[in-house]
Amino acid sequence: MIRVRFAPSPVGHLFVSGARVALANFLHARRHNGHMLLRIDDMERDRAKPAFAESIAHDLTWLGIEWDETFQQSDRLDLYAQAADRLRQANRIYPCFEGDDELRAKRDQRLKRGKSPIYDRAMLKMTAEQRAKAEANGKLPYWRFLLSPRTLDWRDLIMGPRQAKLTAVSDPVLIRADGTPTPLFASVVDDIDTGITEVIRAEDNADNTGVQLDLWEALTGKPPRVQFAHLPPLVDTGRMRLSRKVGSLSVRTLRGDGVVAAALATCLAQIGIAGAAEPAPPTVLAKDFDLRRLSQTVAGFDASQLLSLNRRALGRMDFSSIADRLPNGATEAFWLAVRGSLDLLNEVRGWWEVVAGTIVPPVIEGEGAFLKEAEALLPPEPWDDSVWRVWTEALAQATGRVGEALLLPLRLALTGEEQGPALEALLPLIGRARASNRLRIAAA
């Protein structure tokens, strides 16, 4: 069975970049009837917060992403300690005592001599007496992994053939001086323990792949069977430029702005795939999802595409599914009138103010006589769906106006906007008293 995992660090809310990784894991697992694990990587104790873990889980659920199992790394310290002991007994980790200043000085010296700034493995030459003396002086060791002197080749499920020359990489720290594991170490131990078969993640983690494969083999004693798939970084390629970097857009902000879950999921699932798509929940998107179809180079996030998908998603939503997010008093007739004109759900409040509030339209220069005639010809109430047609036909006959010359001044006077929902549906909701008052103000 295919087993994947999404492993967020709860040091902030879920961003679009993370949601894309989570979605790719879910779609891949669901497409192949696999298993998805939600692992909370909370080993950064000074930054990890339970509230952020809850927020991330909430955003994933809202987006339509489900998981089969979950745990947090802080509950598995014994497992990491046991793994470290196995590596220690196999002489694959070694103690180090250099501080940050000493390491920085060593790095600078290597660069000045034209050498690669990788760690020089000086601590491998330390004697037992030297170690005892360092510990007697109050120093606690941290532990580095002794990388194999080889070049690793693997095939990325998205990027294709890849390679890592381990002799060009510093031996990574696996255990800190306080005894806690680093994220790299804990992640590999967890992936082995939970039987992960495919690691689908962002490209910015790709540099660790060779190290992780070497560590995996050192821990298990056999070549790893896990496969990796790296998603290209998100880039803003849309016509509508974003106010912040794509990767730092939070899911909760988009949700608060009125983005529908199906629209965001579809937008993220389509990144790197040619062709248009209709908004759909992840369970539907999974049917056609294939890692091999994803672009190796372009991961364009287009805000205008997201808004287009969101408009279509909102336009299909019935009143019962959205009523609790509409302004107090909003009716089904109102929702049906405006739903096809919304890019974001939060725009609905402005249109509710149009039909039920006290907006003040602009004075329309040069249209005073026309608007006064329009007010005079307003039919008496009660109004039904035919009132717009009856009124505009009478107004066209009285003034000789047609097309935009007739319609645009009326829309501006009645709504304060040049575009929006069909006035056939809005006018009965606005009512005669509001319509008359706004025509009078716009004609002043």
Domains of the chain: 235-325 (1.10.1160.10), 345-443 (1.10.10.350)
Q: How many residues does the chain have?
A: 444
Helix axes 423-430, 403-415, angle to 10 degrees: 40
Confidence label for 202 from pLDDT (cuts 50, 70 and 90) = very high
| pLDDT band for position 81 (cuts 50, 70, 90) | very high
pLDDT digits (tens, 9 = 90+) for 303-320: 889 999 999 999 999 999
pTM of this structure: 0.89
Residue 150: strand, helix, or coil: coil
pLDDT tens across 147-169, in order?
Answer: 999 999 999 999 999 999 999 99
Cα–Cα distance, 292 to 353 (Å, whole number): 48
Angle CA 427–433–438, to nearest 5: 75
List, for residues 85-140, the tens digit of each pLDDT value.
999 999 999 999 998 888 999 888 888 888 888 999 999 999 989 999 988 888 99
Which of the four pLDDT bands, split at 50, 70 and 90, describes residue 235?
confident
CA dist., res. 57 & res. 40, Å (int)? 10
